[in-house]
């Protein structure tokens, strides 16, 4: 652990699917962390998680690594670090759709992307925009009191709306409800967590499902929530 008088240490672990702009999106938040007293190191894959010497000095992990794979020593190292007090934070698929092959990761994070509804079939053009739909993020009663989301009202976005499979160990700060439209195969609306925190051992987990690309992260509400979430999750 670092001395309280020493700068805090954050690492950015990024990679995976380029559509989520892992480099550009994480670069948005590095200056914020530095302004708040962190030294920041960047890694382009999760191999660092297996390095116990490095991880023992990490206060915060910012992960943006979508649809990738993680090896057994890496997930073991990640869990050990968080159990010992390192925080992990991220957004969208960079944290909620990172390592589908690893159940130990899914348990740690508390939510896994399952689906994002698209536009009407007649509007589809085979591009990412097929899945950009207007939806609302609803702050929960817990979220209205929590330091990450306090003072933020319900807000709307036009981007991917995540259907997340989750459990009730999460402290849900905001939800989103996916409508059941005539062409959908589900028969009633589905409410999913949109922003949540989770305690794992001595470590904290923060997830925002909003954050598909840089333009979404530039939304004032999304950016504020993520910046607060980074600081909250940190040791």
DSSP letters, 37-58, are: TEEEEEESSGGGGG-HHHHTT-
CA neighbours closer than 13 Å in the CB half-sphere of residue 208? 30
Q: Which residues contact 39 (CB under 8 A, 6 or more apart)?
A: 7, 8, 9, 10
pLDDT at 43 over 80: yes
Per the domain annotation, does 129 fall within a domain? Answer: yes
Average pLDDT score over residue span 87-95: 99
Q: Average per-residue pLDDT in the chain? A: 97
Reported pTM = 0.96
Per the domain annotation, does 126 fall within a domain? Answer: yes
pLDDT band at 3 (very low <50, low <70, confident <90, very high): very low
Count of domains forming the chain: 1
pLDDT value for 2: 41
Per the domain annotation, does 218 fall within a domain? Answer: yes
pLDDT value for 6: 81
CATH of the domain at 105: 3.40.50.880
- Grouping H, G, I as helix, E, B as strand and the rest as coil, residue 18 is helix
Reported as a single tens digit per residue, the pLDDT across 99-146 is: 998 999 999 999 999 999 999 999 999 999 999 999 999 999 999 999
pLDDT at 51 over 50: yes
Query: What's the domain range around 135?
Result: 8-233
pLDDT value for 4: 55
Reported as a single tens digit per residue, the pLDDT across 156-172 is: 999 999 999 999 999 99
pLDDT at 87 over 70: yes
Per the domain annotation, does 1 fall within a domain? Answer: no
- Grouping H, G, I as helix, E, B as strand and the rest as coil, residue 122 is helix
Per the domain annotation, does 107 fall within a domain? Answer: yes
Per the domain annotation, does 172 fall within a domain? Answer: yes
Per the domain annotation, does 3 fall within a domain? Answer: no
Query: What percent of the chain stands above pLDDT 70?
Result: 98
Per the domain annotation, does 173 fall within a domain? Answer: yes
> Do the beta carbons of residue 229 and residue 196 sit within 8 Å?
no
pLDDT at 1 over 70: no
């Amino acid at each position: 652990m670092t001395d309280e008088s020493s700068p805090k240490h954050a690492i950015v672990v990024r990679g995976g699917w380029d559509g989520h702009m892992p480099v550009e999106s994480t670069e948005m938040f590095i200056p914020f962390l530095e302004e708040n007293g962190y030294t920041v190191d960047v890694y382009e894959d999760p191999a660092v998680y297996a390095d116990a010497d490095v991880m023992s000095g990490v206060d915060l992990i910012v992960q943006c690594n979508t649809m990738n794979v993680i090896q057994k020593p890496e997930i073991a190292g990640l869990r050990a670090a968080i159990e010992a007090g390192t925080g992990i934070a991220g957004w969208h698929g960079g944290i909620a759709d990172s390592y589908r092959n690893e159940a130990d990761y899914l348990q740690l994070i508390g939510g896994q992307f399952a689906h994002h509804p698209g536009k009407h079939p007649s509007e589809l053009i085979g591009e990412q925009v097929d899945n950009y739909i207007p939806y609302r993020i609803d702050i929960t009663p817990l979220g209205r009191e929590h330091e990450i989301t306090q003072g933020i009202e319900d807000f709307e976005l036009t981007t991917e709306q995540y259907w997340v499979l989750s459990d009730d160990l999460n402290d849900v700060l905001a939800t989103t409800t996916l409508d059941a439209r005539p062409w959908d195969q589900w028969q009633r609306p589905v409410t999913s967590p949109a922003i949540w925190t989770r305690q794992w051992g001595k470590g904290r987990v923060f997830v925002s499902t909003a954050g598909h690309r840089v333009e979404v992260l530039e939304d004032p509400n999304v950016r504020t929530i993520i910046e607060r979430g980074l600081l909250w999750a940190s040791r």
